[in-house]
């Protein structure tokens, strides 16, 4: 075997281990009987430790040295070079983390998450505050260990979105704020209740599933390499591009929860299923840090695809025009008095609310902005943990015009911080912003794209996305993908233009 | 940590890895989309190699030495001592197997199984014969490597049934032959067709599942630590006693396939779920050789429990008297013209046939006997591979009075030999024989056991089995369990008495 083959065989084994861990997690969330939780925890801990030992080993170091020598002279943007480079990059990052920090984090996580769940139930921020303080302290130690030039947050967001920094995020959110706040004010002033009792009707679960799966397959989701299950917190997970699974949840009276949950996860799945087969079991389909699904290059780019398929496609007028007949087919009893235009309006209601995961397209990013601003402050010391409830509520009033009645529906609503996941929230907004840039570029490159979409033919769009994003796996950063395919780095204008056009029309804003 | 704690922590990790492998296998057989097969194969291969490296390591040797010193003075039949002893025993067996033999076997298995599947499809034994010869040669090399005092088969059957040998099996089968052949002849002479068109009726799959699960739970299967899925080849599999899953398959017109498949696997599952919690993640719930489900002590003892619950309980007159009302509840449309006695007779038809897996209680062991006799001959050289079709057909005529019309329904019907699994067939018959000994002992020890069974109350029986068999995990061999709980080693009389009594009555023979 050559040095490259040895290196790739070693990385392929790491990929196998990480995929096995993902299978165990999928099973735990969708199939496992309740009684299996404790021993499943042991199984996951053992496999995770073996994966870590496998990666942070002398063997990896030796194979990596040899591979680096072997790739000299190869093109800098070839998959081969990128795979070796990324392995080196993450090998060094993980090597910088002191073992005691890693084990402190691992030990704190389940305790802190448990305290958070209790605190949320009892609306008792004070009981959670000391644990959140420990997570903040650990995150700052982690940032110091990894190193950064400007802001400690840069070291943390790198794990989720390698091309982002605190400075870039401030510019991004400033731009969004200027565009979104006036739009939201105008919408709220015009808002009226939905005319029909659409959400008291009965949408049988089996038909919701059939409708969602039918649309997912129309989008291009390959059930020969996938399946749809139920989970209380929907997710996509993959064990190589050959086995990419999605989940959703169902409400009997409110089909958009299941439908748009399915289409959101379908977006993630299309990304994973579209990776070049040659990248299977290589460094370019491994998330070395265990932060997001394998295959895609970053949290933000992954989210750009879930949001694109869910919102820009799934919540479009063209979508409801193209698929209203199938909606009627699956729900004949409750669709007689509605038409495509009504459905389009029904699934695009804007309503400032307390809870991020229930937010519409216009308000969603304001929820994220608030969180990222708080994270930046916690990391640079300008915000104190004990002041969080007050700061949270003030920002909710400023951005969304609503005030949480309690911390459970305020600062305690998300699990992320209790697990120490600082740096992940920006990905949601980065993804939204990217999605508009990608779709604009696809419109530019693909002839008559909107005609295809109007006809419910998604192959041209999927082809463009696969060619420009999906097939590359993790070979290029989000920033590189944007520049290569759209000609520009991250910029908010296309996304703001999309929202302005859509909601100006929907709400008759002129 | 003490030497014992270190040892147990190391073995617990091995248990975690083996459980993870089992989760991946369960998923592959019940949930995985078709496209995932190839990469799942890589995942399983990597995890299996890691498990082997973990066990056959210097660390195991060192911890085992220290543990052996630490247990000096402990009771010889304590779980602690047994666990250390068995680890040593299997460590040495695996250590005796040359690496090239192991890798030759691993490489041959998928090829040989593929050729067998084709040969069965095309009724072409000649194309399979060279591969079977290779498997025979490898098995003999394996027996030589492990060592034996009397017959090479002894080294192979040890993997499945440590207390059996070729000599003991000959005695066992001679005894069975003397009892079974006259019984079968008498039954065949009296046999009449079933009076009603029971197997052209419709038994909806969901109701079959509900009925089977209801009975399984009545038997004691804990769904908080289990679940029932569909698989073309039903099996039970467990990932510690906390997560014990079963599968069955459904035919719309013939509910006994699903019901008795479910009850058979429930028997395996009750065993696994009944293991002492203190044995979780220890050497006494690990199958070091990867031959049968974890938890139980041997293939035969495991089969004794599946067959006991399926046949001696599930196919009893008491069962149908106790549960006929539930049968009517689940299948109201098709049960009006039958009664418990008719159902009892319908599920106990004896019919000499070509296929082992479809055989009734009387003929089943004759199918096994034929196979074991052939395996003994292949291993000691008295039977040649090329003569197998002729020998097979002759024995089918002698024991069952039927002659296969082709090799597909003859010597090629089972997958076992193509995978090199010589030594596993005896477990089926050993299990049948043991099941009668155990049930007799339970009747002896438990007051009014038959009254409980007649009332559909299985707690007293499950209690006896758990106390005398299940809780011990792999601490005692099948032979030890028999002697401890029944007072006698393996003996055919209780089983023959059971069959004679049941079928003399059913067929009015005496």
Nearest to A225 by CA among A241, A246, A247: A241
Mean pLDDT for chain B?
95
CA separation for the pair A55, A47 (Å, rounded): 12
Q: How many CB pairs under 8 A join A and B?
A: 106
- pLDDT single digits (tens) B87-102: 999 999 999 998 899 8
Q: Contact at 8 Å (CB) between B318 and B324?
A: no
Asked if the model's pLDDT at residue B404 lies above 70, the reply is yes
Nearest to B282 by CA among B472, B20, B95: B472
Which of B243, B245, B282, B286 would best serve as a mutation to test chain A binding (most A beta carbons within 10 A)? B243
Cβ-nearest to B16 among A46, A227, A242: A46
Contacts of B51 in chain A (CB under 8 A): none
Which chain A residue's Cα is nearest to B16? A43
Distance from CA of A322 to the nearest CA of B (A): 29
> How far is CA B333 from each of CA A287, B202, B255, B256, B271, rounded to the nearest angstrom?
56, 9, 14, 17, 35
- Which residues, 6+ apart, have CB-to-CB distance to B336 below 8 Å? none
Sheet holding B244-248, edge to edge: B226-230, B244-248, B236-238
Q: Contact at 8 Å (CB) between B155 and B148?
A: yes
Query: What percent of chain B clears pLDDT 90, i.e. is strictly above it?
Result: 90
Distance from CA of B445 to the nearest CA of A (A): 32
Q: Under an 8 Å CB criterion, which residues of A touch B?
A: 12-13, 16-17, 19-20, 23-24, 27, 31-36, 38-40, 42-43, 45-47, 50, 222-227, 239-240, 242-243, 280-281
| Residue A103 or residue A27, greater confidence | A27
Asked if the model's pLDDT at residue A290 lies above 80, the reply is no
Query: Residue B33 and residue A280: Cβ atoms within 8 Å?
Result: no
* List B159, B161, B236, B265, catalytic entry: B265
Query: Residue B20 and residue A16: Cβ atoms within 8 Å?
Result: no
Cβ-nearest to B39 among A27, A39, A240: A240
Domain A166-353+423-506 class in CATH: mainly alpha
- pLDDT single digits (tens) A442-498: 999 999 999 999 999 999 999 999 999 999 999 999 999 999 999 999 999 999 999
The neighbour count for residue A194, using CB atoms within 10 Å, is: 11
Which chain A residue's Cα is nearest to B41? A16
Q: Contact at 8 Å (CB) between A463 and A309?
A: no
Burial classification of residue A158, based on how many CB atoms lie within 10 Å of its CB (0-12 exposed, 13-18 middle, 19 or more buried): buried
Q: Contact at 8 Å (CB) between A88 and A68?
A: yes
Cβ-nearest to A16 among B17, B43, B243: B43
pLDDT value for A40: 93
CA separation for the pair B24, B334 (Å, rounded): 40
Query: Residue A39 and residue B24: Cβ atoms within 8 Å?
Result: no
Q: Contact at 8 Å (CB) between B433 and B495?
A: yes
Asked if the model's pLDDT at residue A1 lies above 80, the reply is no
pLDDT value for A293: 59
- pLDDT single digits (tens) A236-253: 999 999 999 999 999 999
Distance from CA of A50 to the nearest CA of B (A): 9
Asked if the model's pLDDT at residue A418 lies above 70, the reply is yes
DSSP category for residue B356: G
- pLDDT single digits (tens) B139-186: 999 999 999 999 999 999 998 998 899 999 999 999 999 999 999 999
Asked if the model's pLDDT at residue B196 lies above 80, the reply is yes
DSSP codes joined into one string, B389-449:
HHHHHHHHHHHHS---SSSTTTTTS-SGGGGT-TT-THHHHHHHHHHHHHHHHHHHHSTTH
Query: Residue B19 and residue A227: Cβ atoms within 8 Å?
Result: no
Query: Residue B36 and residue A240: Cβ atoms within 8 Å?
Result: yes
Query: Residue A19 and residue B31: Cβ atoms within 8 Å?
Result: no
Asked if the model's pLDDT at residue A275 lies above 80, the reply is yes
Asked if the model's pLDDT at residue A192 lies above 90, the reply is no
Query: Residue B243 and residue A32: Cβ atoms within 8 Å?
Result: yes
pLDDT value for B205: 97
- pLDDT single digits (tens) A306-332: 999 999 999 999 999 999 999 999 999
Mean pLDDT over residues B464-484, rounded?
97
- pLDDT single digits (tens) B8-49: 999 999 999 999 999 999 999 999 999 999 999 999 999 999
Cβ-nearest to A243 among B23, B33, B222: B33
Query: Residue A40 and residue B243: Cβ atoms within 8 Å?
Result: yes
Distance from CA of A245 to the nearest CA of B (A): 9
pLDDT value for A289: 83
Mean pLDDT over residues B427-444, rounded?
97
Cβ-nearest to A20 among B24, B32, B222: B24
Contacts of A277 in chain B (CB under 8 A): none
Map residue A509 onto helix, strand or coil.
Answer: coil
CA separation for the pair B88, B17 (Å, rounded): 19
Query: Residue B47 and residue A16: Cβ atoms within 8 Å?
Result: yes
pLDDT value for B385: 98
Contacts of B17 in chain A (CB under 8 A): 46-47, 50
Mean pLDDT for chain A?
95
Asked if the model's pLDDT at residue A510 lies above 90, the reply is no
pLDDT value for B293: 59
Contacts of B19 in chain A (CB under 8 A): 39, 43
Domain boundaries, chain B: 3-157, 166-506
> What is the band of B80 on the pLDDT scale with cuts at 50, 70, 90?
very high
Mean pLDDT over residues A147-171, rounded?
94
pLDDT value for B292: 62
Mean pLDDT over residues A270-291, rounded?
93
The values of phi and psi at residue B247, to 5°, are: -135, 160
The neighbour count for residue B64, using CB atoms within 10 Å, is: 20
Mean pLDDT over residues B442-457, rounded?
97
The neighbour count for residue B5, using CB atoms within 10 Å, is: 11
Contacts of A13 in chain B (CB under 8 A): 46
Which chain A residue's Cα is nearest to B23? A24
Domain B166-506 class in CATH: mainly alpha
Asked if the model's pLDDT at residue A358 lies above 90, the reply is no
Give the pairing of strands B236-238 and B244-248: antiparallel
């Amino acid at each position: 075997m050559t040095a490259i083959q040895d290196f790739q065989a070693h990385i392929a084994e790491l990929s196998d281990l990480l995929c096995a861990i993902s299978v165990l997690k999928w099973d735990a969330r969708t199939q496992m009987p309740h009684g299996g939780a404790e021993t499943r925890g042991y199984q996951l801990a053992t496999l995770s430790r073996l994966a870590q030992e496998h990666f942070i080993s002398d063997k990896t170091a030796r194979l990596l040295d040899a591979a680096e020598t072997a790739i000299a002279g190869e093109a800098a943007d070839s998959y081969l070079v990128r795979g070796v480079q990324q392995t080196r990059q993450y090998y060094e990052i993980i090597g910088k983390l002191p073992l005691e920090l890693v084990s402190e984090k691992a030990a704190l996580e389940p305790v802190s998450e448990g305290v958070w769940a209790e605190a949320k139930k009892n609306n008792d921020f004070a009981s959670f505050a000391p644990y959140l303080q420990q997570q903040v302290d650990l995150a700052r130690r982690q940032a110091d260990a990894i190193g950064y030039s400007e802001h400690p947050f840069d070291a943390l967001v790198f794990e989720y979105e390698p091309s982002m920094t605190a400075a870039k995020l401030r510019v991004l959110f400033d731009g969004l704020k200027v565009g979104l706040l006036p739009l939201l004010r105008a919408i709220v002033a015009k808002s009226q209740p939905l005319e029909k009792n659409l959400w008291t009707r009965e949408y049988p679960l089996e038909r919701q599933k059939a409708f969602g799966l039918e649309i997912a397959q129309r989008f291009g989701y390959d059930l020969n390499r996938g399946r749809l299950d139920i989970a209380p917190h929907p997710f996509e997970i993959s064990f190589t591009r050959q086995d990419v699974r999605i989940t959703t949840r169902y409400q009997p009276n409110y089909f958009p929860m299941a439908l748009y949950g399915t289409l959101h996860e379908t977006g993630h799945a299309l990304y994973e299923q579209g990776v070049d087969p040659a990248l299977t079991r290589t460094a370019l389909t491994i998330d070395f840090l265990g932060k997001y699904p394998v295959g895609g290059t970053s949290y933000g780019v992954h989210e750009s695809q879930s949001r694109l398929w869910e919102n820009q496609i799934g919540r479009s007028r063209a979508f409801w025009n193209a698929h209203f007949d199938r909606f009627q087919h699956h729900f004949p009893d409750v669709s007689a008095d509605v038409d495509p235009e009504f459905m389009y309006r029904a699934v695009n209601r804007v309503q400032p609310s307390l809870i991020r995961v229930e937010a519409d397209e216009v308000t969603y990013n304001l929820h994220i902005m608030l969180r990222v601003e708080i994270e930046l402050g916690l990391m640079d010391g300008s915000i104190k943990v004990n002041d969080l409830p007050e700061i949270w509520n003030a920002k909710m009033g400023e951005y969304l015009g609503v005030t949480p009645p309690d911390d459970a529906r305020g600062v305690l609503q998300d699990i992320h911080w209790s697990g120490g996941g600082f740096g992940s929230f920006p990905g949601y907004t980065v993804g939204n912003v990217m999605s508009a840039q990608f779709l604009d570029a696809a419109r530019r490159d693909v002839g008559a794209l909107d005609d295809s979409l109007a006809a419910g033919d998604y192959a041209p769009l999927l082809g463009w996305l696969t060619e420009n994003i999906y097939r590359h796996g993790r070979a290029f950063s989000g920033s590189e993908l944007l520049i290569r395919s759209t000609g520009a780095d991250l910029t908010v204008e296309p996304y703001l233009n999309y929202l302005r056009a859509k909601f100006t029309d929907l709400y008759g804003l002129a």
